[in-house]
Amino acid sequence: MSTKNSTYLILGLFLLILSVIGGYFLFQVYQTNQQNIYTSETTPKIELLPTDSPDEETDTITPASTSASIITPIASISGKVTPTTAKNTITPTKIPVLTPTTTPTSTSSSGIETFTSDQDGFSVDYSTSRKLYQDTESSGNRYTFYLSSGNFAVHVGLNGQWSWTHPDRQFDDNSLIAGQPSFRYDIAAQTIVDIQSNSKNYTIQCVHNGNATLKTECETFISSFKLL
């Protein structure tokens, strides 16, 4: 009788151990399932989306019916006026490193110099922080007043030519530049002013890129323009 009771006791302990082991494994499986359910169903997926920069305004000039040309960027010394049958886009490009033109100018203590071109019959005031370059383009002569943040230029078109094409260039007698009626064209990045005098077509171009300081300097630059 004692031997039989011992046998039952051993079997009971064995079953108890098996039950404990089985319960432990069941608990682990349950925990694993719960973690999988949380991860796949309740945790939102984080995606890294590219950040788009704000759309920049694209300013174009509607070309004439069959011929149009882009205005030569003043930031390119060797640029040419390129004909196109699509849109006229004004896009400044990188300027090469050149030696500034050594043209006699008058300098004031305010950091302003006066450039005078006897050849093309005009003068203009510009900041001493700018460097002056002279070269030619297909329409005539170009005078670039270089500054890394934005260039100014005076284009002088000869023989009735303009440095750029616009289908509706109308001169305003109420907006006089150097005593002449002018045509003004403003876009986000540039201001362009045209005047005519003595069979020459003058285009004053400021690449200010919307910078308030450069826009103010541009207005001073334009208002200082004089015909000789």
**Who's near 13: CB < 8 A, 6+ residues apart?**
none
Determine, yes or no, domain membership for 84: yes
Question: In terms of Cα–Cα distance, which of 112, 90, 103 is closest to 220?
Answer: 112
Same domain for 28 and 105, yes or no, is: no
Q: What percent of the chain has pLDDT over 90?
A: 51
> Is the residue at 194 inside a domain?
yes
Residue 65 lies inside a defined structural domain of this protein: yes
As a whole number of angstroms, the distance between CA 228 and CA 120 comes to: 9
Residues 10 and 98 in one domain: no
Q: Confidence class of residue 58 from pLDDT cuts 50, 70 and 90?
A: very low
What amino acid is encoded at 218 in this protein? Answer: C
**Do residues 119 and 32 both lie within one domain?**
no
Query: How much is the average pLDDT of 100-104?
Result: 47
Q: Over the stretch 119-169, which tens digit does the pLDDT of each residue have?
A: 999 999 999 999 999 999 999 999 999 999 999 999 999 999 999 999 999
- Residue type at position 211: N
Query: pLDDT at position 222, please?
Result: 97
Kindly state whether residues 23 and 79 are assigned to the same domain.
no
Q: Which pLDDT tens digit goes with each residue over 187-214?
A: 999 999 999 998 999 999 999 999 999 9
Is residue 48 situated within a structural domain?
no
pLDDT (mean) for 24-32: 68
Count structural domains, the chain. 2
Q: Would you say residue 51 lies in a domain?
A: no
- pLDDT attached to residue 65: 36
Can you give the CATH number for the domain in which 187 is found? 3.40.1000
Cα 188 from Cα 90, distance rounded (Å): 11
Residues 21 and 133 in one domain: no
In this structure, the answer to whether residues 104 and 5 fall within a common structural domain is no
Is the pTM above the cut of 0.75?
A: no
Whether residues 21 and 64 fall in one domain: no
**Range of the structural domain that residue 140 is part of:** 60-227
